[in-house]
């Protein structure tokens, strides 16, 4: 299979070899590398990609959920051009950033005050800074397998950097274990930081009762509950918190809110966030040359107000639910022990069919199975993440869902003897 992949993709291999002279493994995002070499995409349109060798792919990855608008949404493109014509970096407050903040607050009413950053990673770092300053405490409860950014990850092969907080790591979806840790560390806990669905950790949703339980535990010990909705914000207009009636103290956002450009936001309770008001004597600093960059603000605002209505998001998530059922139907029909987990328009392939509650449940699953399906699907023109992540974009409709299901069916039928 590797020999066929090499033969099919000479331009990508050549580009990787050239890039590796200046960039470790040829790139600046570790998640994008896979052996023997990753595909070099040259162009995108709608929900399709063309690689350097001219192959066309159905884009089922959607830039790890940030690419919700697809590659060529005309509203986004026009907003970017309009902002460009107004001048790029104005060294000032701008009306666009307030407009985008208002639109986000309409959708996330718990974000009484918010601020922008360049990435979801920074949003989480700033939320932790807010929580430690507000509580005067240092410890942060996080979860095994969680991913909150390149410098805040708690799964296998995690970050070498993890910022200098005092982290207490709990098992996901295990309220008894969290309760015991809160009993031990409660008076020192500044925050409980959690993704409402483990994203990079495998699209494993938190049980609603678990999240509500965390809310109660945070209240008991005086820690802030920080919901990292960087990935799950797309599950409804108001994120997963709106679906569950959950009220975090702080929320972090990223991905699609910038219309496909780099973006992050953190916000929540006014008494916590007002510490970022520079007029206060005890103000916390928060800087960043590109925090309010014109293109992100314009693309984000146009996308939310003209394209991605809450109804459009609901429809996208319903398409995702249906697709996941159909993909899992393929596995059932061929009686293989595989599954797609996830919620709405975000899902992840696993080489096991046992129920998944947290990172520990993934121990021992065979990554070679996912590699096999990944390369087979590529040959049939379906592009997803090497690790098995799928995230739908708006242009990904029923025709594309049919294509994906048909391709998976053919691949599973052909590989049946090798699959669990
Ligand atoms: N939190 C979660 C839940 C994420 O999925 C990600 C990105 N995959 C981040 C934070 C970090 O966002 P960024 O890549 O924009 O720094």
When the pLDDT of each residue in the chain is averaged and rounded to a whole number, the result is: 96
Check pocket membership of 200 for ligand 1, CB cut-off 6 A. Answer: yes
Check pocket membership of 195 for ligand 1, CB cut-off 6 A. Answer: yes
Closest-CA residue, ligand 1 atom 12, reads 120
pLDDT 10s digits, 327-351: 999 999 999 999 999 999 999 999 9
> Which CATH number describes the domain made up of 74-307?
3.40.640.10
Residue 158 has pLDDT above 60, yes or no: no
Q: pLDDT-derived band of residue 157, with 50, 70 and 90 as boundaries?
A: low
Q: What is the SS3 assignment for 54?
A: coil
* ipTM value > 0.85: yes
Q: How far is the CA of 120 from the centre of ligand 1 (A)?
A: 5
Domain ranges, ordered by start, for the chain: 2-68+310-418, 74-307
Neighbours of 25 (CB within 10 A): 16
Check pocket membership of 64 for ligand 1, CB cut-off 6 A. Answer: yes
pLDDT 10s digits, 20-59: 999 999 999 999 999 999 999 999 999 999 999 999 999 9
* Residue found by looking up tokens 């996830």 in the block: 342
Q: Say which DSSP state 67 is in.
A: -
Mutate which of 122, 148, 252 for ligand 1 pocket (most atoms within 8 A of beta carbon): 148
Q: Which atom of ligand 1 is nearest to the CA of 263?
A: 15
Q: Which atom of ligand 1 is nearest to the CA of 264?
A: 15
* Residue found by looking up tokens 């809110």 in the block: 257
Closest-CA residue, ligand 1 atom 10, reads 148
| Fold type of domain 2-68+310-418 | 3.90.1150
Check pocket membership of 120 for ligand 1, CB cut-off 6 A. Answer: yes
Q: Are strands 48-51 and 41-45 parallel, antiparallel or unpaired?
A: antiparallel
Q: How far is CA 101 from CA 5, 30, 91, 282, 305, in A?
A: 46, 31, 18, 24, 12
């Amino acid at each position: 299979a590797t020999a066929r992949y090499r033969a099919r993709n000479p331009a990508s291999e050549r580009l990787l070899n050239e890039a590796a002279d200046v960039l470790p493994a040829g790139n600046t995002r570790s998640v994008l590398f896979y052996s023997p070499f990753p595909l070099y995409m040259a162009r995108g349109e709608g929900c399709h990609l063309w690689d350097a060798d001219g192959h066309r792919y159905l884009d089922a990855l959607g830039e790890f959920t940030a690419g919700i608008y697809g590659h060529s949404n005309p509203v986004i493109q026009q907003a970017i051009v309009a902002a460009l014509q107004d001048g790029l970096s104005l060294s000032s407050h701008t009306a666009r950033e307030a407009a985008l903040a208002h639109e986000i607050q309409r959708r996330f009413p718990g974000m009484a005050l918010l601020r922008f950053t360049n990435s979801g990673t920074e949003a989480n770092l700033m939320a932790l800074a807010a929580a430690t300053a507000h509580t005067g405490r240092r410890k942060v409860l996080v979860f095994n397998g969680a991913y909150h950014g390149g410098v805040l990850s708690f799964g296998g092969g995690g970050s070498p950097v993890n910022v200098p907080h005092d982290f207490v790591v709990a098992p996901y979806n295990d309220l008894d274990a969290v309760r015991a840790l809160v009993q031990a560390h409660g008076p020192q806990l500044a925050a409980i930081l959690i993704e409402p669905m483990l994203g990079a950790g495998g699209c494993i949703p938190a049980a609603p009762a678990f999240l509500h339980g965390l809310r109660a535990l945070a209240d008991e010990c005086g820690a802030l509950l920080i919901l990292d909705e960087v990935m799950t914000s797309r599950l409804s207009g108001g994120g997963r918190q709106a679906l569950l009636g959950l009220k975090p103290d702080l929320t972090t956002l990223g991905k699609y809110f910038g219309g496909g450009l780099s973006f992050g936001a953190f916000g929540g309770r006014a008494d916590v966030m007002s510490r970022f008001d520079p007029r206060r004597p005890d103000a916390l600093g928060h800087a960043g040359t590109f925090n309010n960059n014109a293109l992100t603000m314009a693309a984000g605002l146009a996308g939310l107000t003209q394209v991605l209505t809450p109804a459009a998001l609901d429809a996208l998530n319903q398409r995702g639910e249906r697709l996941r059922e159909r993909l899992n139907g393929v596995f059932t029909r061929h009686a293989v022990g595989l599954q797609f987990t996830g919620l709405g328009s975000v899902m992840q392939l696993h080489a096991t069919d046992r129920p998944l509650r947290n990172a520990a449940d993934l121990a021992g699953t065979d990554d070679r199975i996912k590699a096999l399906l990944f390369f087979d699907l590529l040959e049939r023109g379906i592009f997803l993440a090497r690790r098995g992540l799928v995230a739908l974009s708006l242009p990904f409709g029923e025709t594309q869902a049919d294509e994906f299901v048909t391709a998976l069916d053919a691949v599973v039928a052909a590989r049946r003897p090798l699959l669990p």
